Amino acid sequence: MSNTHEPSPVTEWVKSTYSGGDGGQCVEWSPAYAKAHGVVPVRDGKDINGPALMFSPEGFAGLVAFAKSHD
C-alpha cells in the first residue's frame, strides 16, 4: 500500500461488483485515478468523505483475488 497520493474530490468512483446489493457493504474504487497515477484508491462507499486505502496495482490484484476466493 502507498500513502503518497490522495484522490481528489472529483475522482470518479465505481462500485465494486463484490459489494452487497442490500447497501450494507459498499466498496468503491477509481479505475481512472489508478490509470493516471499508478495506484488504486479503494474506499467505503457509505463514507464518501472518509479516507481511501491506496494499493499498488499488485496489491489491488491480491485484494481482488482474496475477494474471489471468499465469494
CB 28 within 8 A of CB 15: yes
Q: Domain total for the chain? A: 1
Residue 4 lies in a domain: no
* DSSP label at residue 21: T
Residue 5 lies in a domain: no
Q: Looking at residue 67, what is its pLDDT? A: 83
Count CB atoms within 10 A of the CB of residue 60.
19
Q: What tens digit of pLDDT does each residue of 10-29 get?
A: 689 998 876 666 656 688 99
Q: What tens digit of pLDDT does each residue of 39-49 get?
A: 999 999 889 88
Residue 9 lies in a domain: no
Residue 1 lies in a domain: no
pTM: 0.75
The torsion region of residue 23 among left (phi > 0), alpha (psi -120 to 50) and beta comes to left
